[in-house]
């Protein structure tokens, strides 16, 4: 597992995000998603999250930017994310989002390869 903290934009606002391959889903603080339409999940589910358990009741598609490159992510809105490495987090960008956009992490260099976002061409089948 790898994790890197980066400053990004979420819905046009600056945010501190933890890119974490150990997290499947993407989580974003609800305050960033006030104007974003949400969908109620048909059947709620529980996730162990930051030392507590949360019940996922809704999801949304959030728009983000990293190094000026746009991406979208299906996200779980949550009131609070927590802290990591001395940073108050606004989002956790999980493995599904990173895989979708071919974001590859180099934890030793604390960098994220964004070639997939730059190229914006993907082979699906």
The answer for residues whose C-beta is within 8 angstroms of residue 73's C-beta and 6 or more apart is 26, 28, 61, 62, 64, 93, 97, 100
The answer for residues whose C-beta is within 8 angstroms of residue 48's C-beta and 6 or more apart is none
For the segment 74-115, what is each residue's pLDDT rounded down to a tens digit? Answer: 999 999 898 888 899 999 999 999 999 999 998 788 899 999
**Rounded distance, CA 75 to CA 60, Å?**
5
Q: What is the CA radius of gyration of the chain?
A: 14
Which one-letter DSSP state was computed for residue 31?
G
Average pLDDT in the 61-85 region?
Answer: 94
* SS3 label, residue 55: strand
Does 39 score more than 90 pLDDT?
Answer: yes
- Is 17 inside any structural domain? yes
Residue 1 is predicted with a pLDDT of 56
Residue 123 is predicted with a pLDDT of 76
Residue 106 is predicted with a pLDDT of 87
User: Global pTM?
Assistant: 0.91
Q: What is the CATH number of the domain that holds 29?
A: 2.40.70.10
The answer for residues whose C-beta is within 8 angstroms of residue 80's C-beta and 6 or more apart is 29, 50
- Is 125 inside any structural domain? no
Kindly report the backbone phi and psi dihedral angles of residue 80, in degrees, each rounded to the nearest multiple of 5, phi listed first: -145, 140
Does 34 score more than 70 pLDDT?
Answer: yes
Does 2 score more than 70 pLDDT?
Answer: no
- Is 124 inside any structural domain? no
Parent domain of 32: 3-119
- Is 105 inside any structural domain? yes
Sign of CA dihedral 94, 112, 123, 119: positive
Does 16 score more than 90 pLDDT?
Answer: yes
- Is 76 inside any structural domain? yes
Number of structural domains the chain divides into: 1
Does 64 score more than 70 pLDDT?
Answer: yes
């Amino acid at each position: 597992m790898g994790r890197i903290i980066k400053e990004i934009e979420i819905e046009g606002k600056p945010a501190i995000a933890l890119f974490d391959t150990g997290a499947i889903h993407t989580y974003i603080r609800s305050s960033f998603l006030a104007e974003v339409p949400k969908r109620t999940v048909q059947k709620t589910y529980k996730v162990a999250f930051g030392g507590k358990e949360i019940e996922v009741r809704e999801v949304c598609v959030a728009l983000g930017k990293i190094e000026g490159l746009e991406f979208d992510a299906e996200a779980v809105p949550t009131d609070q994310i927590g802290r990591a490495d001395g940073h108050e987090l606004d989002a956790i960008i999980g493995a599904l989002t990173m895989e979708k956009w071919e974001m590859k992490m180099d934890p030793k260099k604390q960098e994220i390869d964004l070639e997939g976002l730059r190229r914006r061409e993907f082979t699906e089948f």
